[in-house]
Each structure stands twice: as structure tokens, then as C-alpha cells.
Amino acid sequence: MIVHSSKYKCTECRKCFSTNQQLTVHRRIHSGEKPFECSVCSKRFTTAGNLARHSRIHIGEKPYKCNMCDKAFSQSATLKSHMRVHTGDKPYKCSLCNKSFSVSSNLNSHKRHVHSNRRPYHCRYCGKLFKTNVHLKCHVRIHTGAKLYSCRHCSERFKSHYQLKTHLLKSHNEGTWFTCHICQKQFSRSGHLKTHVLRHEGVKPYVCSECPKCFCTSSDLKDHLSVHLDYKQFCCYFCDKSFRRKCTVKKHFKKCSSVHGFSVNQSKCRV
């Protein structure tokens, strides 16, 4: 008797698998079950293999090295995505505006930020809403003070991977600086360098719909748009004074928090 090689069938999507174990793992896509939890940051995964690959982030293991620069990565998929920096390949195209991206996560983020106004993720501490769960998790650390990323060279700990990366560059000369070819100023993130170069070149592609002003970045335009609002959306936690622009409330907040005997890191503002 010949047994069919795909005898295990998913009742949800009818996809077939050759082993019961493969079917069990697949079913977690439908159920959302993630039984494997990282002991460092509590992030959960559907398989032990995915957890093992994630754990390399915390221990600093980076076995996958780029043959075109000195960068190394903890996962082969990350190296594959990085190689597109050198090749210029952008296979992920937005169906709404035709903008292309080198990795699928950037395309998904682009769609959420540019083509959607939904903010389904809610902070339980202050009520602020976010478009992605990642942004919510980063925000919550402001309230909890959690520092999940530790430096392998010293005792310093950080709230975000970006803060750790910047520390490694500045304090231990580990990593790659991004240098402006015009003024030689250095940046820890390529995105910051791109924005900086735009300011040198005077390129301002983002135009305000309410007035003739133009801006180098979408975030600059977003901050400017608040001056056209009829209400003041940013409120100080201590004195309840309201402001139209985030940059204005931040300046006020530093002064107000010190008056009330708090450091900026200890205090918070409402949006």
C-alpha cells in the first residue's frame, strides 16, 4: 500500500503536510499560538528554531558576514536583505504609489504610515495610539523604564536596539559610521544621513497642502501641519498647558518637569 506523501491536511486552509509535526507548526498561523518565549525580552515565537535565531541578537552572535563590507548579521535572511544595499535591488513595490523597497517589512510599514490612518495599538499607561505593535512596545518602555539591550563590552543597558548600536559606535568604535560626503559629519543611521544630505542639497519634496511651505522630510511636514490645526493636541502632564506642536511641548516639558522635581526621563507628556 502506498501512503500519500501529504496525508496531514489543515482544516482551516486545506494545505497538506507530510508529517504531523509540520501540520502542528502550521496551525499556529491560524491560532496565533507562540509557545516559545525569549527569556531576555519576552518576545514569543511559533518555533524553537525562530527563537534560537532571535536569541543571537541578545548574545551578539553574528555568523553571517557580508563579503562587500565589514557588516555581520545574526540571521541569514538579514544578510540577504542587507545585500540589496549593495545591489540596489528593491523587489517590494507598493501597489498604491509604486514606491519600491528592499525588504517587505519596509513596504508594510510604508503602507501603514502613508496609506492608512488606523492606530489600533493602545498604550495602557497614557492612552496614546500607535499604528504598529513595535512602536507601542518601544513607547511603553518610557513608562516602565525597561532596558532590554545590554552592551557586551561594559555594564550599560538601553531601551532600544538603536540606542545600543549608537553606544557601540561612540564608546567602543564598533560598527559603521555613515559619513556625509559634503561636510564629513557622521551618523549612526543611514536614514539620518540621507535626511542630512537633502538639507545640503536644498531638496524639499514635501509640500504643505495648506500653505506654500516645503520640507525635506515627511516628519518635518507632519510637525508643521499642526500650526494649521484649530486645536492644541499636545498637553503637558504637570500643568495641563496645551500646545499645537510637539517640538514646542518638548521644550516646555523640560522646564516644567524640573520645576516639579522630576528629571525628563522620569516624567511624561500626553499626546
For the chain, the average pLDDT equals 79
Average pLDDT over residues 143-170: 87
- Predicted local distance difference test score (pLDDT) of residue 172: 92
User: Of 82, 99, 114, which marks where a domain is finished?
Assistant: 114
CATH code at 85? 3.30.160.60
Average pLDDT over residues 40-56: 81
Does residue 45 belong to any structural domain of this protein?
yes
Note whether 267 and 253 are within 8 A (CB): yes
The answer on pLDDT for 263 being more than 70 is no
Does residue 223 belong to any structural domain of this protein?
no
Does residue 262 belong to any structural domain of this protein?
yes
Q: How far is residue 271's CA from residue 267's CA, in Å, rounded to a whole number? A: 14
Grid cell of 71 as nine digits? 557588516
When mean pLDDT is compared across 114-123, 148-157, 173-182, 237-246, the lowest value belongs to 237-246
Q: How confident is the model at residue 113 (pLDDT cuts 50, 70, 90)?
A: low
Average pLDDT over residues 143-153: 86
- Predicted local distance difference test score (pLDDT) of residue 171: 92
Q: How far is residue 244's CA from residue 228's CA, in Å, rounded to a whole number? A: 9
For the chain, the domain total comes to 2
Residue 238 lies in domain:
234-270
Q: What is the sign, positive or negative, of the torsion defined by CA atoms of 98, 135, 127, 209?
A: negative
Average pLDDT over residues 105-114: 72
- Distance between first and last Cα of the chain: 67
User: Of 114, 129, 159, which marks where a domain is finished?
Assistant: 114
What one-character-per-residue DSSP string does 88-131 give? ----EE-TTT--EESSHHHHHHHHHHHS-----EE-TTT--EES
Does residue 57 belong to any structural domain of this protein?
yes
Top pLDDT among 131 and 148 is at: 148
SS3 153: coil
User: Of 98, 114, 130, which marks where a domain is finished?
Assistant: 114
Does residue 108 belong to any structural domain of this protein?
yes
Does residue 142 belong to any structural domain of this protein?
no
Q: Is 183 left (phi over 0), alpha (psi -120 to 50) or beta?
A: alpha
Residue 223 host element (H or E): helix 218-225
